[in-house]
Each structure stands twice: as structure tokens, then as C-alpha cells.
């Protein structure tokens, strides 16, 4: 599948934003958030900014962005519609939570709890857009939703550590969380890649054409001599030959290095802590962007069975 | 609404006979011709005279080889929207632009409400939908809805453009929901089948398989080398062999 930059940015940025919101709201619920006005304002600007920027970026993918409001109407059947509705609804408790903490000085636990629910449900909806697509085995499997949730939480935790350090606060718990969630993400991605390499779609060139009873089906002549939308959108194959190296990059730069940097950061002075966690955010962010790029680039669509692939 | 309608009795669709399709692409060309002025017009071509030509088509004719050696067959294979009974291309649509008609089962896109998110094309296993870059909306086979109900046309012409143009009558149009219809009987008689039934989309269009050739096996297809000559030919053979 063609990896559109707008969608990669949307899913990674909004995932990190929701992850950060969940952590902040969780901190509020267990009573760890003090009256840190600066930290509070900065955290919400980053979290809501990432979610908002992600949503705006997703509009860039549309042929008619001015009609985007229509996407809020079909929540009964469409995960994309549900995602849009939940993203907008989640702004309400998130802003109420931000107001109660930063301005009113007393955290509303109800708003914090609703923020967690909204952020998690929205992330699940985003993942389900992909996990519900039957023609794409790389997406329609039990790994997609946990990976989206875990990576959102992980990148949110990396951001939370940076924000804490910038405001002179120390959160050993967040460092611990980064390590645990980072290791879970590593395990999930390795499991996902084993799943991806270990099988193929039940659909083959034989089932796609129904000619399997005659024998093996091979393409003789393509239907057109030039490329078309289907081949550009669904037949994308640039990344696959580099997939092994890129997967290793994701594990090392996306998870290994940020975990290491996070532990180093909490050992040092304030300056070291800021520098370490900033590098961890950059490294983890780059790794997750490459992960999302691979998620698209490695995915095969059954339409390629009509264009010379024997399996999908 | 992108909820699927409660299935109506009528299921209009195509039956495509792979035994006699000659792969001439006339159906694809006439489809393009008609629909360039039809319900989803235009079917934009980008850079039509340049180096990177691409364009929207509702019907594409592939050619496959099935089986090996003397049992192998060349099969020409037209591919277009199958107007599935349970199509995910409809239910994934966030705006309701993609819909299935209750009265005849035709799957259509409303070009005025489509936001061009392309999700329906990802949800279609068959590659039936093509995005129009110039219009910013998704396009697909309409089963020539502007022909089949068009009372300004002679009755004989009220069939999809691909069906009307096929020079070998490999394409049939009718109501596959009616077991007594001509197309349903054809499907029953010839063992018409669904594409990718494992996807669970329940396509309405059916494909008729190529017939089994009468001469089967390697022996029947080998040149006859050892023929015993008789009479005058035997004498000639003897003379020339000297």
C-alpha cells in the first residue's frame, strides 16, 4: 500500500498526543499532578497540538477536504467516521481537564477519566480503520490495534519525560514506564513481523480468477500498458527490498536507543536530563514514523493478484 | 446511509463467459466511451499524450494463463465492479457517498458528497474502484444505470455498454436474484462462480468457467510420426529409402 505522508504523520502525531493525554489524566487521577502551571500549559499545548495537527494533516489526504464534515455522519458502519466523531468529542473532556488543572487549580477527576476513555477509544478507532480491511492481511489481524495503542502510549511517555525535565521535574516512574512500554512495543512488533512473514492471504491468483481448477494461474498480458490508480495506490513495493534493515532500524532507533537515553537522562544534571530526553523523543519519533511507513509499504492488497502476484 | 439495505429481491448484475471472451477489449473501450458522458462523468485521463499516461476506467481486461503445457489455457478476464451483496466498500464510507441501492442492488458513488478519502478502494478486494485525481472523488462501474432505465433508448439498447458491444456475446446482463431469469439459468447450467468467495463479499456478478476441451491429455496432441504407408506410398517410400 502506498505510504501517504499525510496519513503517516496523522497516525503517529495523534497517537503520541493521545498517549500524552492519557498519561497526564492518569497522573491526575492518582494524585501525582501538582499545581505546575508551566508544565501543565506546555503539556496540553503539545498534546492537543499534536492531535489537532494530526487531524488537519489527515484532511490533506482527501480529494475534497472542504467536505470533511460529512465524514462525521456514518458512525454506525464506518470506523473512519467513528474516529472523526470520537476525536472531536475527546476535545471536550480534554479541554475541561486542562482548564480544571491549569486555570482552576483543582483537577476534575471526571474530566480526566473521560479524557482517558476518549483518547483510548479514538486510538482504537484509528487502528480499526486498518484492522477492518479484509483485502489487506498485513492490517486485518489481531496485532494492529495493540500496536497502535502501545506506540501511542510509548511516544506519549517519551514526550512526558521531556516536558517534566524541561520544567525541572523528575519522574522516575515515567522512565520506568518508557522502558516497560518500549519493551512491550518491541515484542509486539517482532510478533507482528513473524505473523507477516509466516503466512499469506487465503486469496491467491487462483481464487481471484476462479481458474484454479484448470491449474496454476499466471498473468499473460496486463490489461493496460501504463500505470493506473490501482497500481500506484495498492501495488506499492519500493520498501520491501529494504524491509529487513528498516525493521532493525525501528527496533534499535525507535525503541532501544530511546529507552537507553531515558535511563541516562535521569542520572544526570538538569541539562543532561533535557538533552537526553529530547534525543529520546527525536529517536523514538523517527523510529515510529519508519514503523508506520513500513506498516503501509509492507502491506499487500488482493488486487495485486490480478496484476501478476501469485499471493497477497 | 452506508448501512447496507435489507437485501432486495432484485440483484442486477453481469454474467461473463470466460469460455468465449476473446480479449478484444471492446467492452472496456465502450464502457469508457459511454461513461465519459454518463453518471460519473468524466472518466479523466491524466497526461493523455505525455510520458506518464493514466486514467480512470471501470472495466479492465486481463489475460491469464491457467494450467501448464498441453492442459494450459489462455483466459481473457474482464474485471469490473461485482455489485456485491455485502460490500465493505459501502460500509467503510464515512460520508454515505458510497451506497448500495435497495431496489436493484447497484453499488454507486455520489460524486457530490464523496470526500475522496480512498478508503472504499482499499476495502474492495477486486480493485473495482478508481480514484479520479482531477475530480478528487472515487469512481466505479454504475452498471450503466443511465442506460438500463433510459426510456429514450430503444429497449434492445437498455443494457450496460459493455454488454451491448461484446462482439461474441460473452457478457450477459440481468436479474441474478430471480432464479427464473435467463442469466440465473445460464449460471446454473454452466456452473457460474464468485470471485474470491473467501472474502465474504457475496459478489452478484458471476463468471462462467472455460469449458473443458474435448481432446484431453498429451497423447492426443502429439504429431503422428509413425504411420505405416500402404500401396503406392509404400512403394514410393521403399524407392526413396534406397
| B188 lies in some domain | yes
Segments making up each domain of chain A, as ranges:
1-132, 171-312
Tally C-beta pairs within 8 A across A and B.
213
| B5 lies in some domain | no
pLDDT score for B53: 92
For residue A306, give the chain B residue with the closest CA. Answer: B62
∠ CA B150-B154-B158, rounded to 5°? 50
- Confidence tier at B153 by pLDDT (50, 70, 90): very high
Written as one string, the DSSP assignment of B34-99 is HHTTSTT----EESTTSSS-EE--S-EEEEEEES-GGG-EEEEEEE-----SS-HHHHT-SSS-EE
- Confidence tier at B69 by pLDDT (50, 70, 90): confident
Nearest in space to B204 (alpha carbons), one of B31, B67, B48, B10 = B10
pLDDT score for A239: 62
Over range B198-207, report the average pLDDT.
Answer: 98
3-state per-residue secondary structure call for A219-268: EEECCCCCCCHHHHHHCCCCHHHHHHHHHHHHHHHHHHHHHHHHHHHHHC
Which residue is it, cell 472523526? A84
Cell of A84: 472523526
Helices (H) and strands (E) in chain A, counts: 11, 1
Distance from CA of A77 to the nearest CA of B (A): 5
Position A298 pLDDT exceeds 90: yes
Residues A213, B209: C-beta atoms closer than 8 Å: yes
Which residue is it, cell 459501502? B90
Position A30 pLDDT exceeds 80: yes
Distance from CA of B89 to the nearest CA of A (A): 10
Which residue is it, cell 497423447? B219
Partners of A72 on chain B (C-beta within 8 Å) are 94
For B111-147, the pLDDT digits (tens) are 999 999 999 999 999 999 999 999 999 999 999 999 9
Residues A133, B209: C-beta atoms closer than 8 Å: no
In this complex, which of A61, A73, A233 lies closest to B117 when CB atoms are compared? A61
> Mean pLDDT lowest for which of A257-266, A297-306, B213-222?
B213-222
pLDDT score for A105: 85
Write the burial class of residue A91 (CB in 10 Å: 0-12 exposed, 13-18 middle, 19+ buried).
middle
Position B218 pLDDT exceeds 60: no
Q: In which domain, by residue range, is B175 found?
A: 12-214+221-240
∠ CA A196-A201-A207, rounded to 5°? 165
Over range A44-53, report the average pLDDT.
Answer: 96
pLDDT score for B70: 75
Residues A215, B66: C-beta atoms closer than 8 Å: yes
pLDDT score for B196: 98
Written as one string, the DSSP assignment of A21-73 is HHHHHHHHHTT-----HHHHHHHHHHHHHHHHHHHHHHHTT-S-GGGGGGGGS
Distance from CA of A196 to the nearest CA of B (A): 19
Residues A81, B122: C-beta atoms closer than 8 Å: no
Position A241 pLDDT exceeds 80: no
Over range B21-32, report the average pLDDT.
Answer: 97
Nearest in space to B115 (alpha carbons), one of B100, B142, B129, B97 = B97
Residues B57, A228: C-beta atoms closer than 8 Å: yes
In this complex, which of A71, A135, A224 lies closest to B125 when CB atoms are compared? A135
Over range A42-66, report the average pLDDT.
Answer: 95
Q: What is the three-class DSSP state of A109?
A: helix
pLDDT score for B216: 59
| CATH number (domain holding residue B180) | 3.30.70.20
Residues B194, A210: C-beta atoms closer than 8 Å: yes
Higher pLDDT, A257 or B38: A257
Name residues whose C-beta falls within 8 Å of residue B209's C-beta, 6 or more positions apart in sequence.
A210, A211, A213, B18, B19, B190, B191, B192, B193
| 8 Å CB contact between B66 and B73 | yes
Looking at every residue in chain B, the average pLDDT score rounds to 93
In this complex, which of A68, A77, A136 lies closest to B115 when CB atoms are compared? A68
Question: Into how many domains does chain B fold?
Answer: 1
For A181-226, the pLDDT digits (tens) are 999 999 999 999 999 999 999 999 999 999 999 999 999 999 999 9
What ipTM does this complex have? 0.94
- Confidence tier at B5 by pLDDT (50, 70, 90): confident
Residues B122, A234: C-beta atoms closer than 8 Å: yes
Amino acid at each position: 500500500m502506498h505510504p501517504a505522508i499525510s496519513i503517516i504523520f496523522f497516525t503517529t502525531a495523534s497517537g503520541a498526543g493521545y498517549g500524552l493525554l492519557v498519561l497526564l489524566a492518569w497522573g491526575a487521577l492518582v494524585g501525582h499532578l501538582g499545581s505546575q502551571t508551566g508544565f501543565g500549559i506546555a503539556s496540553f499545548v503539545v498534546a492537543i497540538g499534536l492531535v489537532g495537527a494530526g487531524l488537519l494533516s489527515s484532511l490533506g489526504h482527501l480529494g475534497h477536504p472542504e467536505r470533511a464534515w460529512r465524514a462525521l455522519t456514518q458512525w454506525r458502519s464506518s470506523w473512519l467516521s467513528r474516529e472523526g466523531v470520537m476525536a472531536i468529542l475527546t476535545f471536550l473532556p480534554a479541554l475541561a481537564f486542562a482548564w480544571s488543572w491549569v486555570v482552576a487549580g483543582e483537577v476534575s477527576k471526571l474530566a480526566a477519566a473521560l479524557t482517558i476513555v476518549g483518547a483510548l477509544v479514538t486510538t482504537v478507532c484509528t487502528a480499526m480503520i486498518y484492522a477492518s480491511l479484509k483485502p489487506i492481511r498485513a492490517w486485518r489481524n489481531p496485532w494492529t490495534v495493540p500496536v497502535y495503542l502501545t506506540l501511542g502510549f510509548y511516544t506519549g511517555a517519551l514526550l512526558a519525560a521531556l516536558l517534566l525535565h524541561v520544567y525541572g521535574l523528575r519522574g522516575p516512574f515515567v522512565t520506568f514506564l518508557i522502558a516497560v512500554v518500549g519493551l512491550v512495543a518491541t515484542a509486539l512488533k517482532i510478533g507482528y513481523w513473524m505473523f507477516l512473514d509466516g503466512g499469506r492471504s487465503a486469496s491467491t491468483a487462483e481464487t481471484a480468477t476462479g481458474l484454479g481448477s484448470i491449474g496454476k494461474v499466471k498473468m499473460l498480458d496486463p490489461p493496460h500498458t501504463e500505470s493506473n490508480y490501482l497500481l500506484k495506490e495498492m501495488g506499492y513495493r519500493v520498501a520491501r527490498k529494504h524491509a529487513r534493515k528498516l525493521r532493525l532500524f525501528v527496533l534499535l532507533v525507535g525503541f532501544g536507543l530511546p529507552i537507553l537515553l531515558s535511563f541516562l537522562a535521569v542520572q544526570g544534571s538538569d541539562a543532561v536530563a533535557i538533552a537526553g530526553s529530547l534525543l529520546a523523543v527525536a529517536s523514538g519519533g523517527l523510529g515510529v514514523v519508519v514503523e508506520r511507513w513500513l506498516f503501509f509499504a509492507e502491506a499487500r492488497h488482493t488486487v495485486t493478484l490480478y496484476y501478476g502476484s501469485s499471493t497477497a | 446511509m452506508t448501512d447496507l439495505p435489507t437485501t432486495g429481491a432484485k440483484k442486477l448484475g453481469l454474467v461473463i463467459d470466460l469460455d468465449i471472451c476473446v480479449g478484444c477489449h471492446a467492452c472496456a473501450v465502450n464502457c469508457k466511451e459511454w461513461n465519459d458522458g454518463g453518471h460519473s462523468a468524466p472518466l479523466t485521463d491524466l497526461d493523455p499524450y505525455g510520458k506518464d499516461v493514466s486514467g480512470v476506467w471501470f472495466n479492465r481486461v486481463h489475460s491469464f494463463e491457467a494450467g501448464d503445457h498441453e492442459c494450459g489455457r489462455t483466459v481473457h478476464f474482464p474485471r469490473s465492479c461485482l455489485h456485491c451483496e455485502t460490500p465493505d466498500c459501502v460500509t467503510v464510507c464515512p460520508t454515505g457517498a458510497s451506497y448500495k441501492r435497495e431496489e436493484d442492488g447497484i453499488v454507486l458513488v455520489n460524486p457530490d458528497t464523496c470526500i475522496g478519502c480512498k478508503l472504499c478502494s482499499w476495502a474492495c478486494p477486486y480493485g473495482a474502484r478508481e480514484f479520479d485525481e482531477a475530480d478528487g472523488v472515487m469512481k466505479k462501474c454504475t452498471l450503466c444505470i443511465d442506460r438500463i432505465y433510459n426510456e429514450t433508448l430503444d429497449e434492445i439498447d437498455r443494457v450496460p455498454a459493455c454488454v451491448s458491444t461484446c462482439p461474441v456475446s460473452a457478457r450477459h446482463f440481468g436479474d441474478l436474484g430471480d432464479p427464473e431469469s435467463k442469466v440465473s439459468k445460464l449460471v446454473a447450467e454452466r456452473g457460474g462462480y464468485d470471485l474470491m468467495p473467501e472474502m465474504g463479499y457475496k459478489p452478484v456478478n458471476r463468471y462462467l468457467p472455460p469449458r473443458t476441451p474435448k481432446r484431453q491429455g498429451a497423447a492426443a496432441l502429439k504429431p503422428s510420426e509413425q504411420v505405416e504407408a500402404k500401396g503406392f506410398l509404400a512403394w514410393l517410400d521403399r524407392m526413396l529409402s534406397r
